[in-house]
Each structure stands twice: as C-alpha cells, then as structure tokens.
Amino acid sequence: MSLDHPLNSLGFAKPPAETRVVVAMSGGVDSSAVAAQLASEGYDVVGVTLQLYDHGAALAKKGACCAGRDIHDARRVAETMGFPHYVLDYENTFRAAVMDEFADAYLAGATPVPCIRCNERVKFKDLLNTAHDLDADCMATGHYIQRKDGVAGPELHMAADHARDQSYFLFSTTAEQLAYLRFPLGHLESKAETRALAAKFGLTVADKPDSQDICFVPNGNYAAVIEKLRPGAADPGEIVDMEGRVLGEHRGVIHYTIGQRRGLGIGGLDDPLYVVKLDAELKRVVVGPKEALSTRMVPLREINWLGDAPLDSRAEWHVMVKVRSTRAPRRAILRPLSATTATVELLSPEEGVSPGQACVFYEGEGSRVLGGGWVWRG
C-alpha cells in the first residue's frame, strides 16, 4: 500500500478495490443504499445480516427489522450489486444480551431501551468482531449519525438531518469502535436523498416503509412479549396514590409506563392522575399529579464518555442532554462521581424520566455527541 495514495471516501490511503468493508444490512432502504453506494465505488463489500430471533413468527408482521422478508430483501440487494452476503444466526446471543434484560427491566419497573443494548452488545460487538475476522478494514451501517475526524481522534456527531438523527441510540459506541465504524448516510439532508440513492441503483427496497416497532415487539405490545418471556409476570396488584392510599387494582405492573394517564381505571377523581412510579417488588402502581413527574436531578451509571479529556477530570461539565429520543436536547450540568457514574442536573425540569432510559450528552454548541449513561434510581 502506497502512503502517497490519496485517501478514499472511507478514509484509507489505498484504492477502494483494496479496501474491504463489511456492511451491516437489515434489509431496509438505509443499509441497502449504503451497501449499493460502496459497491458502486468499487469497494470490496461484504454484506452481513443478523437473524436476531425466530423469523418464522415474524414473517406475518410488518414494521420491524431483521424479519424473514428483510433477510430476503438484503440478499436481493447483494445479488443486484454483485457482492457476497451472509446471514448469521445470533438468536441466542440476542435473547441473552437484549431480550432477557428487556423483560427483567420492565418487571423491575424500569423503562428499557433495547435498541441501544442491541447496538452495544450485538451489532457493535459481535458483528464488529465478525468484520475483523473477515479482515475488513472497517464496518459501515445505515445509521443517521456522523463520524468526524477531531484533534484527539474520531468524534461522534449528530446527523445533518436532525429529524432522523439516531445519536440517542448510539451513545454507547466506544472510541475504539468509532475508529472502525463508518456512517455514510450521516451527512445527507433528508431521507428522500437515501431513497433516491436506492432508486438510482434499481433496488426494490427504494420505497420500502421505515421500521416502526422494536423488532421483537409486534405492534408495540410490550406486555405480551414479557408475558411470553416471563410466564406469570402479569400479576395484579394495587393502584395507590403517593401517600399509599389504595385507589384501585391493576392487571400487572408490566401494563403500565411512567407518565401514563389513560387506562388506569380509577375515574371519578377531581384532578387527572398519572403513573409516577412502578413498584414491582410490592406490585404497586403509584399515581400522582402531573407535577410529580417533573425531575431535575438524574442519577446515571454505565457512562460511556467520548470527550477529549477524561470525564472525571472536571467537577462539572455544562452540556446539552436528551433523556428521550424524541425530545430536543436541553441544558444541563453533568457532575461526575467516577469515570462511569454521575448526576445530571437539568436546568429546566423534565417530565417522565424513568430508570432504564438513556441520558445522552451533547456539546453546548455544535453537533458533537459526548457520550451518555443509563438512568437508575440512585
């Protein structure tokens, strides 16, 4: 390899034909467009699709990734563009690393985000190791996020299209992983550009609808999945107010979420009540007024820090944070307790913050992602 060769579009000083890239292919339009574009540029592309659960049961359901039809769609893209494609059975790994924790977290009254754990424990761990085993120079995905070269190394940045930005779900990407990953769609201004790219290459997935559900949760019915994973989990119990007065009965803690108002079955009250706490141990759903949902202090653990200086090198960091993927970042003060734990003080209260959610950090100005952590009870 000549050191004088100009950098190719993936950042390597050699021709595309000598650069092997594994593309994580879900069968959707995003990863398909990435694979097709890289293949058209002459890269040595290898497509890999993960079978994450029994797709025989998933064939009848729409709106989720990695089902049987999606594996077929990924294979067709590879055939169209002329690169090899492999399907890896990660069903047991996925259940142990993602689904079991999802069920246990819900049973404990938390609000888990399994897509983050899947990226952290499966796609950017086991699949990334597979890419190394295939002697790939890098691994590319269809995620909407940007990787930029910084003074201290690669940096993670929000996507150019903030409406599609997936940084909330990728905060746990480590610096070592970031050095190996590529996100070719992160700079695009809209999803329409991605679909146009897929159409340019004649891909049948160009107009395929976006995934909507968590891949193993059909139609958003969390409770049904948890009951299947943990039989007998939906034990009934009491609905109580914040002083412990019994207001009614519920049909299982797993059927409720923090901030829920409808479907509580405790009508006839002067003021609306919301779920403010789930006490799985006592099998209680605690309700209260809307203001009881407001939170300013958020304890975090399992922090992944992507800043240039160590997290605990300062007493506090003034950052922007997201505690929900659908909400805009808000100003906060991050106070480290160790290299992996901290307390976040929100400068304006947030409603419905729950253990199990992620809290993601951003630069006060600009698009850089500084990492994030997991909300817990403290």
pLDDT over 60 (residue 2):
no
State the distance between the two ends of the chain, measured CA to CA, in whole angstroms.
52
Q: What per-residue confidence (pLDDT) applies to 262? A: 86
DSSP, res 254: G
pLDDT in tens, 23-39: 999 999 999 999 999 99
> What are the tens digits of pLDDT across the range 225-252?
888 888 777 788 999 999 999 999 998 8
Q: Is the pLDDT of residue 66 over 60?
A: no
Residue whose C-alpha is closest to residue 122's, from 210, 53, 196, 55: 53
pLDDT at 82 over 80: yes
Cβ–Cβ < 8 Å for 359, 300: yes
- In DSSP terms, 372 is beta-bridged to 304, 360
Kindly state the helix (H) or strand (E) to which residue 98 belongs, with its residue range: none
Distance CA 303, CA 311 (A): 9
**What pLDDT shows up at residue 58?**
41
With CA atoms as reference, report the closest residue to 351 among 284, 265, 282, 260.
260
Res 378: pLDDT: 63
Residue list, annotated binding site for ATP: 24-31, 50, 142
Feature table: binding site:
24-31, 50, 142
Active site residues: 118, 215
Cβ distance 5 to 12 under 8 Å? no
What was the pLDDT predicted at 54?
Answer: 60
Lowest mean pLDDT among 96-105, 107-116, 202-211, 332-341: 107-116
Query: What pLDDT does residue 235 have?
Result: 84
* pLDDT class of 280 with cuts at 50, 70, 90: confident
All structural domains of the chain, each given as residue ranges with its CATH number in brackets, are 16-142+184-201 (3.40.50.620), 234-288 (2.30.30.280), 294-375 (2.40.30.10)
